[in-house]
Structure formats: C-alpha cells, structure tokens
Structure 1
C-alpha cells in the first residue's frame, strides 16, 4: 500500500474520526490501516491483479498470522474483510479495537434529506435508524444518477440495501435501493424507473424472496422497460459475490417464482374433462360460510347483522354450532376488525361465552379494535401482516362504511380499490372475508356500488319487517336472515332471527326455531324460492300418499306428476326425490333450517340494536 494513502506515522486509530465525524476526509480504510498499525500489522497492495476495485493484503489480527491472510476490499463508502483461514469479520474488527460501524465511511444520504445510519447493538445485530426527512416512503438512493441513466438508456442495478448499491457504484455502475431495507421497496417512489432497464439483485434469503415479489409488483406490468434478476455466485449478496473475486459477468441469472396471483390464474385453467374432479366447497360454518370466499352480509342499522357476524365468527373460532344447526367441521382462527368500536364487541363476545360455556383459545380470536382504512396502503399492509401472522380462516370487516371513509360508494371505480383489498386477502391467504355493510332504505340490495354484491361468492341480508319500507326497529318487528346468493351451491331458506338476553343483560342472536317458515318476497308476494319450496313439499306429500318408492328416479317422478296434471319443473322433481331419499337415510339437506329448541329462553332486548 503506498505511503501517501496511509495515516501519518504515529496517528492512532482512536485519533481518527468514525462515521459521521466532522473530518469528512477520513475513510473507513484510513481507520482500519491505523488500527492494524497500532497492533503491528502491515497493509500492502494485493500481490495479484484483481478484477474489480481496490484490494489489499494484511496480517490478520485475530490469529497468529506469519503469512498475511487478511484480504481488505475498499468499496469507497465501506470496506470488506475476508480472512483466508476463516476468522469472521466481527472477530477481526474486535481484535484491533474497532466497531463494525467503523468499516463504513459515512451515513447513507438521500437527496430528499433522509439520512440512514448504520448501527450495531451489543450483540452485533445491525440497525438502521433514520434522521432528517422521514416523511412518506422516500426517494430512490442516488436518485440523480438513476434519472440520468434512465434518460440515457443505461441499465440501473436495483439492490436490497445501500451497502450493495455502493459496492456496485464503486465499480462504475448505476445502482440504487430504497430506504428501509427489504421492505422499503413497496413504499418508495419508483416513478423514476418508468421505462428503465432494471437489473435486480435480491439477497439469498427469505427476505430476498419477498423482495423479489415486491420488485415484480412495483416494476412489472410494463413499468420498467425490462426487468431481470441476478443472484450472487457465492454468499448472500452482491458484496459477498464481489469480495469472493467474482466478476460482474458471473452473477447467476434467476428465474423468480411467479407472483401468487399470476400463478393462481394459471392454476385455474382446466380442460373441460377436469371439471368433474374439482372438490366441492369446504364448509367453514355449515349452511352459512364456505372456506376461501368473499361473503357480503348487509342490512339496515339495528337489524342484528353485527350480532350475526360475531356469532358466526365465534362459532368458527370455538367449534360451537350457531343455533344448533349451523355446525363447524373444524375449529379455525378468526380475525375480527371491530371498526365501530370494541366495547360492544366485548360485551357480545362475553355473552356468547356464557351461552356456550367456552372461551376462544389463545390465538383463535383476534380483534383489531379500530377501523382499518382500506384505501390507505400502510393500514392495508398492517392488516395483511396480522392475517399473515394469525393465518385465520375467517376475516370479518365490520363495517364496510367505517373502513372506506371518503370513498364515493356509488362509484364502481372508487369502490374497486378497497374491494380489491378484500379479494386479495381471500386469494393470497385462502381465507374467507366477511364484509358487514348497510342496505339502502328499500332493502333491495347493499348500499353503494353493485360491485360489492356482484363480486361476492355468497351474499346474505338481514331484512327488517315484512316489507321493503319497514322502519320500526322495535323488538316486535321481525328480522329475517335471507340467503340472496351462492355461487357454489343452492341458497338456504329465509329464517327468522330472535334476540335473547342472558342474566347479565347482554344479548345474542340465533335462528328462531318456533317461527313459521318465511315464504314472502320483497314486495309482500310469495318469492320464487317460496313457491319452489311449496311445490317440492306438495310433490313429496303426494308421492308419500301414493306409496311411490324412494328408489324411483326423478324422470319417472316428473312423468308421474305430469300424468296427474301437477305442474312441476324438472328441478322440483329432482329436489323431491333427493328429499325423500335423505329422509329415508336419516340426513337433511345442507342449509335447510330445521325446528330445534334453543338452549334456554330469553326476552327481547328493548331499544335500538344494530
């Protein structure tokens, strides 16, 4: 090593400033050379030509090193150390009285005023606190160089962190990163990379795999002109690769895994012959919820819809059936977003615990006690982190209105943003998302854009009274649970709800087993479902009276009914045959509401209830 590049004779390492020192001329290499000299170690130019950067050779201070074995790499903003005999970097640094942070010449400064500091705790773990401008996601590292490169058509190298970006920059490349480590890329402004030729360098670890997916999301779909991924030939990252002596042309081309949503579409492409092999929907709460669905539950205020949503969630988390009939095949975790306040949820949850004599096990029922605004990326990210951690089978968003403030609810375009959040939760985590929402004053559909119900896999509504204009929310006004839509099965019959109060004055809601079957349509006329049910019941009774065997096929039954001038459809004949066979085998149709006694009686709760 030339004399002019070393610290002056007698200048101890302790006299030379560390990172952030006022002496900006002092580099990490200066500090290391001085520290090695203090310990009787010489630093010399590397005896063999190296392909990239400045490289030196010294005696390793961490072992008795008669033959110099410590390779020192000068990357400008930081230095790398590699002992040929295997001493690790912290051991070498400690042997000369330095800290790991002394290997770095300065803090990482961004052009928007953000400063990223590199620190190490007592256990040697890296930390990257920030100062200066910390607003928003920030700008790209070395932003001016990036902008010039994109304009000139020069490749831009995208790294996970500043250290690797500086390593590549010291070799004459245009390199950048985002503040905040591997997770920062999702928040930084990537607009300057529009139309760029990007080479991305993920680390070889789990965080690098997630970073790769983020890079595809941020720069794919035509944002970057081209995007390819290169990995280190050895080690974890770019710097390890360079310090091992490998060249820029020796990075390993990576074929990143497809984005999960891309793969989901590819997996959904089937030949027609494969359709019969698809599994039937997996019930989460038999007769009410299936696994991996987006479900809409709507109703006017004070129609008990939140009582129903909480009761369903409690059933899934504890395995206790709702209204005895809606059973839970497997107990699964639940995440409940209580956007309208946690106090009411707490009281109702305790009432359900007393009713069933069970409390959800730890980790089985998680409550988020504030709204999660679905149009704000940071809050959506937090919700996704909770879902990723808890892995719930059911996520309840109660209510939609509180989670979409400022959204023009009648606009399909504005509704698409929060709705996509719900659909992505369903698709990315294979969870059922239950959205609780309000209806308009006519109770004809959920309030706002029709996309909310059009995109639902299943839709339920709690109707107030027996007409669309009902407004009386007193306890004497009936509430009816109506299954409006089911993409993967038949809809259940409407069922009356009953509100009961326990000895502590807290209420729960269940299906009223003593209420007469509900057969009315929205405008007071018999509904199509009610007409069909009546026809099925009439045909079953006629077949029983005539002694027709249960092994008789539906076509024979259809012809038998026609001969007797009974006006029935093929579907009614099929259902009648099915009902008779199920009755004979001791089973009932999925989703049918049967008359079962409640576990104790209560009184209607007075006052207005949601």
Structure 2
C-alpha cells in the first residue's frame, strides 16, 4: 500500500498524531485522534483501509467520530483521501442538501438557533481521562451485543467528554463497533407490542433519565450521526413515537433524520425539546415534567401525522 499517495498521507499523519498503527487483515487500526488522544491506553478504534477500485483511503472510527473530525485533527482535508480526483459532484447530480437536512435548517432558523456548533477551546489537558459510565446494548433476547463507554477528561476550561465502543465476543469485550441496535431493545420491543409511547433521545444518559421517569426510551450508539434505518426497523408498528431533540443544530438534524426513517411506519410522530436547557436531562433537572416538553418548530408540524406533509 506504500505506493498509494492517499494511504501514505493518512497513515503518516496518524502515525505522527496517534502513534504506530496495528495491522489486522486489510485494515490498520490507530488510536482515534478525536476521542482517544488523552494519553491513556486504549484499544484502537480508528480503522484505515485502502479501496483499490475507488482509488481512495477509507477512514472509519468505530466509536462514531466523523471523517471530517478525524481529518481536522490530522490537519488534512477530504481530498487527501483520494488518489485520483474526488467524485464529480457537478452537473445534474448536484442535488443540494437532503430534504431532512434542509427542513432541520428551517427549524433552526425558526427557533433562533445557529446552523452550526462551534465548540470552545477547552485549553490544555490537566488530568488523565477516566471512565464515568458504560451503557450495554442488547440483542432482542437480552444478551449483550456491545457497549458504549463514556469518558471524561479535565482541561483548564472544563471537562471534555469522549465515547468509544466495544463489542461482546466469546472471549469478552473487544474494541470496535457492534450491530446497529437500539438501546434498551427488549424494552422497546415490549412497548411496540403493548402500544405504549416510545421516546427517542440523542444519548444514553437521556434514555436513562426517561426510564427513571417511568417511560420507555431508546437511542442509537454514536450520537447524533449514528442513526440508521436498521434502528427504525425495530420500531415498525409503534403506536406513537416522541423524538426528543437536543436544542442545537446536530440535535435538530438527528431528529429530522430519525423521523424520516419512521414515517409511514408508526401511528404518530411528535418532535419535542426541553423547555429549559439543551436536552431531556436538563429539562428534568430544571424541575419540569415530561408533559412540559415543547414541540420543535417546523419539525413537529411536518412529521406529526407519522407521514411527511408536503414541504
């Protein structure tokens, strides 16, 4: 692979930033420069492989970090993934943003929220990262499939969260992603069968907040960018789904994506948000009831019937 320019560029940058990689079949694994750059020992969760047919290097963080985040930490750009020119997106194939993304942007503007999130510089790291939670994802029969580990690292201007995934094997827990299953899957299946409301949140901590309030709730591993149609398959036939959107751009876009995969599958879709704060946990910590969740402008009206209305 050394003769491929993109491979040399990507792996060379990762070697400088994250240290030496480990070979395993076609893939080489590195510590992810986004969420594993805390100086602690980790099972590397960033995979790199070369696709000869497409003449490009593929980068995949199995904990859910986006390619753009990884490249930014390496000081590279998307074009550095390609040996030839990137795919031509000009002409008739230029379709613009997806309908769900455009709808979410309209909702953000209606709510007076910015269209992007700029995270402040946390400053230098002051301590070692420590694990603060582990969330087990289970198959339909209740056996463990994988888990999401949540870490926390002290910096000069606050704490920084990090997440990584592990999958369950016959020999124990191993680094890497697992099947796209909803969190609390056995409880979700029971709620669909019983016709109970199901709440979809953006993260596991909010799901547990909802559970303590006596609700059936779920989410996907990988945060706002991790929802897939395979997750939606498990909610097929649900009576009513309430999507609790985080009050920011990724949260609104995640809610729109979830709703788009559930249209025509469930009886009713509602998209709501915290009355105070960013998420469901903030909402409850502020002393509000679940019934006090507020509809998200534009998105709730668009998806309320469970079938997309004309844009």
Give the TM-score, by structure 1 length.
Answer: 0.25
| Higher strand proportion (structure 1 or 2) | 2
Structure number with larger C-alpha Rg: 1
Greater RCO structure (CA 8 Å; 6+ sep):
2
